[in-house]
Amino acid sequence: MAEVLFVSEISLPGPLPGQSGRSSDNFDLDLAPSNAKNYRFVVESAFKPEEIPNIRFDVTDDISGGSDKTLYSGVSNGYVGSVKRDYGVYIVHKSGATKPFKVKIYAIV
């Protein structure tokens, strides 16, 4: 099976200014190829690569005017999850990071 990178997002180790838990800007899961079978999450950290095995986070759907919904919980490096096609999702409730880190999401096709 092949993998296609479709998201590359930076997350802070703590909340964005003015936020209680959100640590990244919004990004879109709907950009994955239409033939995607699953998503694979890869965590990278140029500042603290030794932290990669300890980083955990949730991916949450930003619902305007309603309660946000967790799509993926306890995501870590190498996590494989089912395909969810949502606009405006973000990283939240992270642990294990003291420096910014990058999350890459690959579609498994």
Q: What's residue 35's pLDDT?
A: 97
Amino acid residing at 57? F
> Is residue 104 classed exposed, middle or buried when 0-12, 13-18 and 19+ CB atoms within 10 A define those classes?
middle
pTM of the model: 0.94
Q: Over the stretch 45-69, which tens digit does the pLDDT of each residue have?
A: 988 889 999 999 999 999 988 899 9
User: pLDDT tens, 23-51?
Assistant: 999 999 999 999 999 999 999 998 888 99
Give Cα separations from 93 to 2, 6, 17, 96 (angstroms). 30, 22, 15, 10
Pick the CATH number of 3-108 from 2.20.100, 2.60.120, 2.40.50, 2.115.10: 2.60.120
